[in-house]
Structure 1
Amino acid sequence: MSVDTPRRIVLLRHAKADWDQQSDHERPLAERGRKDAPVAGRRLATSGISIDLALCSTAVRTRETWKLAVQELPQRPKTVYEERLYEASLGELLALLNETPDDVADLLLIGHNPGMHALADALAGETEGDVLSRMNRSGFPTSAFAVVTFTGSWKSVEHGVGKLVDFWAPHA
């Protein structure tokens, strides 16, 4: 794949989690999260994005979100459970993107806020229509996802390199 290949990054925030007595990492999905995750998967399936690689946080709520969402996709992409996505800073998220192999055209990250929102905002040098204002107005709720496109190598991903082309939230 050439460095001029158009690429897409899909940033999916985990579905609504329960606030049980478990540690934060071990929190499972709430009933609403179990309903919203497949809806997000169906919306991703209709987006026309063929995900090559999914990187998923190791937190219980992100793994459960992905398990429910991926069932709605026409094809299951290779999935890597990545510890560094849990509580990742913007810099750590950019570093993960920079490590992505260049044979990956479309990448999905399943993670947490504030990281998913911060990353979408940081990457978006341009936006399509009112996508950025809708994303910022909503605050990037659970089960929401943003799609950022860019051209070039994954090693070249940095602030402002992309175009925010889609934002979706289940209750927007």
Structure 2
Amino acid sequence: MSVAEPRRIVLFRHAKADWPQVSDHERPLAERGRRDAPVAGRKLADSGVTFDLALCSTAARTRETWKLAVAELPDRPRTVYEERIYEASPGELIAVLNETPDDVNNIVLIGHNPGVQALSEILTADAEGDARERLDRRGFPTAAFCVLTYSGPWKGLEPGTATLVDYWAPSE
């Protein structure tokens, strides 16, 4: 891959979860989450990014979010359920992304806050259009995602090496 062909990284927060009497890891989506996840999937499809790989937390709410969202995509990427994404810090998420094989061009990471929002802020050096303003104004609510571009090998991904090109969050 040449530096002229940027990779796409989508950071996608799980949809709204319910609070039943189960462990945090096993919390399912709430009704609103089950409505928002397919909408987010359609917005991802509209972005035109074709994903080579999805990295999804093993938590029930992220798995359910991804199942509902991916059904809206024209092409289903290979999905890896990665337990290290659950409760991960931005540094831990970067370490997971650094392990991505270089034949993977576009990736979606389905995770949790505060890690996903912090990672978007840490990776972003520049932003296109009003994407940063929209992200700063809305934060990273459930079912939100941002699209970053990055040029270089995955093991070279580090703070300040990506550009924020798009951001979307469901209306409340």
| TM-score, normalised via structure 2 length | 0.97
Report the Cα offset of residue 63 of structure 1: 0.2
| Structure 1 stretches of at least 4 aligned residues deviating more than 6 Å after TM superposition | none
Gap regions ≥5 residues in structure 2: none
Report the Cα offset of residue 130 of structure 1: 1.9
- Of the structure 1 ranges 128-137 and 27-36, higher mean CA displacement relative to structure 2 is found in 128-137
Letter in 2 for 1:16: K
Cα distance in structure 2, aligned partners of 1:140 and 1:117: 6
2:143 alignment partner, SS class: coil
Cα distance in structure 2, aligned partners of 1:171 and 1:14: 15
Report the Cα offset of residue 44 of structure 1: 0.4
Q: Which residue of 1 aligns with 2:60?
A: 60
Report the Cα offset of residue 107 of structure 1: 0.4
Cα distance in structure 2, aligned partners of 1:157 and 1:69: 26
Gap regions ≥5 residues in structure 1: none
Residues 30-82 of structure 1, C-alpha deviation per residue, up to 9 Å, x if partnerless?
A: 00000000000000001100000000000000000000000000011000000
Letter in 2 for 1:112: H
CA contact (8 A) 1:4 1:153 kept: no
Report the Cα offset of residue 134 of structure 1: 1.1
Letter in 2 for 1:26: E
- Of the structure 1 ranges 6-15 and 133-142, higher mean CA displacement relative to structure 2 is found in 133-142
1:17 aligns with 2:17: yes
Report the Cα offset of residue 131 of structure 1: 1.0
CA contact (8 A) 1:4 1:152 kept: no
| TM-score, normalised via structure 1 length | 0.97
Task: State the superposition RMSD in angstroms.
Answer: 1.0
Report the Cα offset of residue 3 of structure 1: 5.5
